[in-house]
Structure formats: structure tokens, C-alpha cells
Structure 1
Amino acid sequence: MGSPKISRRIMLGRTGLAAAAVGLTLAGCGGGGSASPEASGDAGSSAPLTPVKLQLQWVAQAQFAGYYAALDQGYYKDEGLDVSILEGGPDIVPQDVLSAGDVDYAISWVPKVLGSIEKGAKITDVAQIFERSGTTQISFKDKNITTPGDLAGKNVGSWGYGNEWELFAGMQKAGVDVGAIKLVQQAFDMNGFLAGDIDAAQAMTYNEYAQVLESENPATGQLFTPDDLNVISWNDVGTNMLQDAIWANSDKLSSDTAYQDQTTKFIKASIKGWVYARDNAEQAADIVTKAGSQLGVSHQKWQTNEVNKLIWPSTSGGIGMISDVAWTRTVGIAKGTKNETGATIISADPPETAKSTTYVEKALAELKSEGVDVEGKNFAPLTVTLEKGGA
């Protein structure tokens, strides 16, 4: 497999620092009409690879390790696909890019896409990669916030943009309306929390939580530890919603047999990438770094490890399967939880085309026949030591 070409652009990363985000694409046909080795299929084969564009939800980081690993290890090429990975950012809405026909697949959270579907987007969840939620609300121990009910009267941070619904659902389940807190617009970093301006901050287990543990406690001169924090997990509260999924074009799934076949192949190769990231977490972290992520070595390893925990072990018959229980819970929260204006994400159940297990079931069957472990029942996470600043 030849070396992939790299195109570079500057984007604001989730850490709040200017990051050089890298879009990694396999080389395509040259201007003179001759195809590069990557675009011409396997050695000795004249069959060209099918160009495929994947839109990520955020910049290059281990949240997407499986896709980068599938590209790096040649799994997409094995399925006859020439995949380009397009990074996201603050101003990019993956489902809108997919709905507009600018890409073939997109990664996004289910509740965000449900709102887009109700507004007319014709896209389908074809593989639910994250089985568990990575969203938490964290606070320092001296704030005495251990349950959603304790958030009443507190300065509560949220990024907004559809990231707040598990928080609101957890609060309302505990009898705390949004009006009972001071909702703080949280930046895409933990500076406000560390400065004391936010009592309870939103934090992904694989990113912002680690940012705190990479920071120095001014009282001790040492890094903060988990013992310094209280963590509210929405998985424990029961208001967790489905997050990273692979989305496809609904109309093309209903009428384009080539796209249907391509979707199975894309899911299959992506799952192999996630299996690689599970079994080779440190190598997967390195792959993402080489793809352009600006995160430090220890932070990248932490992120890979924590993302693996959201996927493995699979309890739904294999990675990518859509749990009816989790889907129903997510839809229920989207219909029944109100934000600060009294609005909900959706007003009615989504159409049947909002999800399909047809293609992931085919992909899993093929992988199982090849001896690939798609459930990861024996998964054991790494022990990762964070360094100051995530270095």
C-alpha cells in the first residue's frame, strides 16, 4: 500500500488551542489521467477503487481512531474503497454535509441527527459505533455535587450545540428544571472550570476530563487526581443518549444497489479498524497523531483507551448494532426533555428510515465468518498515565 497524501488546514481544536488539523486522503487519479497505485486496486488488479468521503464530527483525534486505523491498515482498500476522511470543526454540521450530498457517510450523535431528520434531512443510522455515552458533568469535591439534584442553584457549564440534552434530561429526572441552574456557555476547554467560574462542567471521558487531570493543582503543585473530583455519569443516571454513529443517505439506500453494497463494505472495514484500535490501542493512538492530531502523546493514548470503553465489550451482538432499548431511550429523551426555552429536540417519533441494521448485520456476518472478534467480551482497558498538559 502506497503512502497516503496529506492536505493540511488550520482549525480551532476542542482544547481551545489553534491546531493544525489534517485531512487524510488516499491519492486519487492525477491530472494527466493516470491512476496512482492507491486508486487502481490491489497489485495485479485492474479494478479501480471506489471514491468514498467520510465527514467526521470533529478534528482528527482518537474519538475517530477506528476510521484512521482502517485507512492506515488498508482495510478500506481491501473492500475496494478509496476513502477520504474529512475533519469537522465548530462550524461543520456532519449531517448537513451528508444531507447536501457532499459526502457519502458522516459521523454524528443520534440526538443531533434526529432533530435534522425532523427538519427534512433524509439520512439513516446504519451502524451505532459508540454503545455508551462519554458525557459527564464534573465538579471539585468541595462543591458537594454528586447527583443531578445537587446542580440546583449552581453554575453549570455546557457547550450547547446539542451536547446539553443528557444533562437536561438528568436534571429533569431529578426534578430540577433548567431555570433552577445558572447555565454557563462553556468554551471548548476547561479553563472556566479550573478558574472556578463553573461549579459543574461538561466533560467527555476521553477529552475534557483528561484535560483536568493534566492540569496542576495550585494547592499542591501536583496534577489533579480523580480523588479531587466528583463525576456524574449519564450512563449511571439513565439519561445517556446514543452518540457516535455512521450515517448514510436514506434515498440512496432505498434505490441504489451499488451504494447499498458500498455501505456494507464501508461498515465492515470501519469495524475492522475499531477492532484494530481495541487490540492495538497504543499503535492506533500513533496513527491518529500521524494523521494530524495535535494532542499530546499521553492524552492521545488516554483518549483511545477511553473511547474503547464506550465500544467494548459490545452487548448488542457486535459493534455497530443498534440496541432497541438505547434507541428508544434516546428518542424518548429527545421528545420529552426541554431546554431553557421549553423546546425539545423532536416533537414526534422519527421515521423508520432513521435507522437500519441491514448493512451492519451483513458486515458483522462477514467478519464473524472471517474469525474477527466483533464483540470484544474479553476487552481489558489499558492503564494510562497522563502527563502535564497531555504531553
Structure 2
Amino acid sequence: MFKLITLLAISLGLFLLAACGSDPTATSVPVPTAIPTATTPPDPTARPTATTAPEPTPTPVELTKLSVALDWFPWSNHSGLFIALDRGYFSDEGFDVEIFTPGDPSTVLQTVASGRDDFGISYQTEVLIAREQDVPVVSIMALVQHPLNSVMTLKESGIVEPKDLAGKKIGWPGIPSNEPLLESMLGSQGLTLDDVELVNVGFSLVPALIGNTVDAIVGAYWVHESISATNQGFELNIMRMEENGVPDFYELVIVASEDKIAEDPDVVHRFVRAVTRGYQDAIADPLDAVQLLKRLRPEVDLDIEIPGVALLAPLWATDNGVFGWQEDARWQDFAKWMVDSGRLSESTDPMAAFDNSFVAGAQ
């Protein structure tokens, strides 16, 4: 009986031992499927592997908002600004730029001087007059190297030079700087403003001319309005200002306030650098520039801007190819002309009205 119990006990033990050995899910320790790497000493020179925890995503740099007030509705002359916007030249410099046409473009110098707008486009004449009136604005770069403003008449009118304007109605946009310009043109051939009738037609210059509301227009650009009239079937006579008693001048300039220049010179420098890149692209390929402008501003009329930019692009840079540069003599001569015409006092310093340092630093 004892032997039987002993045999049964041995048999039961063997059975249990066999059962435990054949069950993979019981209490056995899991066998790793790969050789542990912890036993390998780390190489201090090794680059992190894919198993390294990912680096946190960098926080995007917040762009500084800037505003640029235009002198008029967007057209080919502004294409370099829109190139800088579209191709990221402004954002490369850390800026989020708004380019807009103010409700009243004649207020650009005031809004820039007050700090409401960071930069603006205005006229050389207006900058000098503003400074005499203690509006602290400075031209930081020339947008166009020569005059675009001109006097235009219908080809059929026979009015081809200033003396022919005697007794005629001349439409103008109401911009104050146009008066001394016209006065000098008339004066070059013995006339005065009293010999003509000025009619404020706003910016409807071409409609007023081709509709015979007026006999001539001033304040119209020979690279724009003349093409608009031609496209409508009207040939024009064009009297260029610098050929009729007015010294050569910068048609448009980009301005900043004295405070902006003094307090944020780095912002001004980076802005000028981005604008320069935009206009260098526009000079290199004017057709592409206006097509980009059309994409961003669908209201742009390519029938005017394509032929117009071919005339305009050579005026964006100096004869040696520098965009934005301003000559001392040009400011001095133009200021003297304004003094002689009674529009400016001798106390106004033309050399303080512009600053070339930012353009020089952008080349």
C-alpha cells in the first residue's frame, strides 16, 4: 500500500512538472526578442538615432507689422513693392507689410509723420513744402528718377507747347504741387497762371480731356494716362516738364518720419533692403512684374500697364543701375527752383529732406 502511494506521488509530480514546462503563458519569464542595448556602453560621439525623443517645434517668429501708404491706386510703378510682398522679401526681413491706397492720398505725409503709417509714397515737391510747415518727413529713397507728370492735349487740338495754352481750360487733380510746375512751364514761354483757367477734375483726367470738358490736363503721367487715351482711340500731344522750364526732379519718393529714422533705423534699413530686392526683380523683368501685380490686384489694366512699364522701368534706377539713389544737386536745384517760384523759403534745408544712407546699405 505504501509503495502504491509512493508511485502515485512520483507520477503526479512528473505530470505537474511536464505540464509546467509545456505552458508558455504560465509563470515563465518572457524571453526578449532583441538583444538589450543597455549592456552596450554608449558612444559619446554618436549622433542621436531615430529613437531619440523629437526636438520641440520652434516657435514661429512673430513678424513686425508695417503699413505702406500709396500715392494712388496700385499700378505698374508699385510693382516692386508687391513683388517684395509676394516673394517673401518683406517677411525675410521680419515684416508683415500692408500696402494700401488711403482714402485721401494727399494726407500721406501727415499720417507718416504722425506715426499712423510707417512709410508712404509722395512727391519731392510735397516733401519740401511739408518740411517747411514742420511736418517731419524724410525721403529715404527715390521711386522714379525723372518726372512723369506732364501736360497733355489732344493731337487734333494743335496745342503743342506751353504758349498755346493761353486762354485754355486745364484740368488738374487738385494736388497743390501741380500749380508751381504748371506755372513754370507757362512762364518759360511768357505766360502766367492768370492766362489759363484751372478746372479741378480729380483723377478723371483722361475722361475730362477726351470728353472736351477741358483743353489740356496736368498731373497726368506720360507712362500711363497717355496710353489710356491711345487705347481709347485718342492720340495726344505730350509736353514734358523737364523740357519746358522745370528742373529735373524725382517724380515719386518713399518717405519715413524723422522719429522712425532716429528710433528704428534697423527697421528702415531692412524695409529699404526688401523694397530694393523687389524693384531689382521688376527692373530685370518688367513684364513679369506687372503680371504678378495683376495676380495680386485684379483691377489692374494690363492693356495700359504692359506698354507703360516698358517706358517706366528704365526710370526706376540711376544711369549706373542703382535703385533709390538721390543726388544732392537734384534736391538743391529743385529747392532753389521752388524758392525762385515763391513756393518755398530759403530757410528750408533741402539736404535735410532726404537720406541716402539706407539705400547705400541695401546695395
Using structure 1 for the length normalisation, give the TM-score. Answer: 0.71
Instruction: Please tell me whether the aligned partners of residues 139 and 201 of structure 1 are also in contact (alpha carbons under 8 angstroms).
Output: yes
Deviation at 1:334, TM superposition (A): 2.4
How many pairs were matched up? 302
* 2:188 maps to 1:173: yes
**Deviations along 1:83-105, whole A, 9 cap, x unmatched?**
22122344552111101111111
1:1-391 matched pairs, under 5 angstroms: 46-90=60-104, 93-164=107-178, 165-189=180-204, 190-202=206-218, 203-215=220-232, 223-224=233-234, 228-239=235-246, 240-254=248-262, 256=263, 259-312=264-317, 314-315=318-319, 318-337=322-341, 344-351=342-349, 352-364=351-363
Cα 1:349–1:280 shift into 2, 3 Å: farther
Of the two, which has the highest radius of gyration?
A: 2
**Unpaired segments of 5 or more residues in structure 2?**
1-56
- What percent identity do the matched residue pairs reach? 22
Residue 29 (structure 1) aligns with:
none
Instruction: Please tell me whether the aligned partners of residues 136 and 233 of structure 1 are also in contact (alpha carbons under 8 angstroms).
Output: yes
**Deviations along 1:113-171, whole A, 9 cap, x unmatched?**
22121111111111112101111111123332222222222222222212413222211
Instruction: Please tell me whether the aligned partners of residues 142 and 252 of structure 2 are also in contact (alpha carbons under 8 angstroms).
Output: yes
Deviation at 1:242, TM superposition (A): 2.1
Q: Distance in 1 between matches of 2:121 and 2:320?
A: 20
Residue 41 (structure 2) aligns with:
none
Deviation at 1:315, TM superposition (A): 2.5
Match of 2:167, SS?
coil
Q: Which has the higher helix share?
A: 2
Instruction: Please tell me whether the aligned partners of residues 133 and 310 of structure 1 are also in contact (alpha carbons under 8 angstroms).
Output: no
Q: Distance in 2 between matches of 1:91 and 1:245?
A: 14
Q: Distance in 2 between matches of 1:362 and 1:51?
A: 22
Give RMSD over aligned pairs: 2.2
Using structure 2 for the length normalisation, give the TM-score. Answer: 0.76
Deviation at 1:285, TM superposition (A): 1.2
Deviation at 1:307, TM superposition (A): 2.8
Cα 1:44–1:316 shift into 2, 3 Å: farther
**Unpaired segments of 5 or more residues in structure 1?**
1-42, 216-222, 338-343, 365-391
Q: Distance in 1 between matches of 2:227 and 2:210?
A: 13
Q: Distance in 1 between matches of 2:59 and 2:324?
A: 31
The aligned amino acid for 1:143 is S
Residue 32 (structure 1) aligns with:
none
Instruction: Please tell me whether the aligned partners of residues 206 and 304 of structure 1 are also in contact (alpha carbons under 8 angstroms).
Output: yes
Q: Distance in 2 between matches of 1:253 and 1:196?
A: 47
